Structure 1
Amino acid sequence: MTDQALDAAVARLERAVERIDHAARAREKAGSDLTNAYAALEKRHVQLRARVQETIGRLDVLIDSGDAV
């Protein structure tokens, strides 16, 4: 293999490695973004559940007070 052909092959390999590194970083970022989105969704779900439970409690009080009248 000539030096020129060898240099071209090495350059192609370096570009391939750069593409692989870029893809790996993009995948890690996407996974991190998904993890953050899931955590935010879970937090909102917990808050919603608490509000629903509170509302059910208030309704129970209203229903109970209506029965006594």
Structure 2
Amino acid sequence: MRLYSFNDFKYICYIEGKKNAVEKIFSEILETKKLNALCKSVENKNINLNTIYKEYMNLQEIKNKK
């Protein structure tokens, strides 16, 4: 899976909407249950782009260690 930069991430969120972008980017990293929970928090606007991107980078780091 490609590693997105923060600017790529912001652009995808701008074009597709935050929820759809999160689904697209995290679908290969998270299991369905965790992805749905993340999308719900995005829908409720409890989470900003910086927080989402930090989570994405943390998950990428974990995935690359395996």
State TM-score, norm by structure 1: 0.28
Structure with the greater alpha carbon radius of gyration: 1
Structure with the bigger percentage of helix? 1
Question: Which structure exhibits the higher relative contact order, with contacts defined as CA atoms closer than 8 Å and separated by 6 or more residues?
Answer: 2
State TM-score, norm by structure 2: 0.29
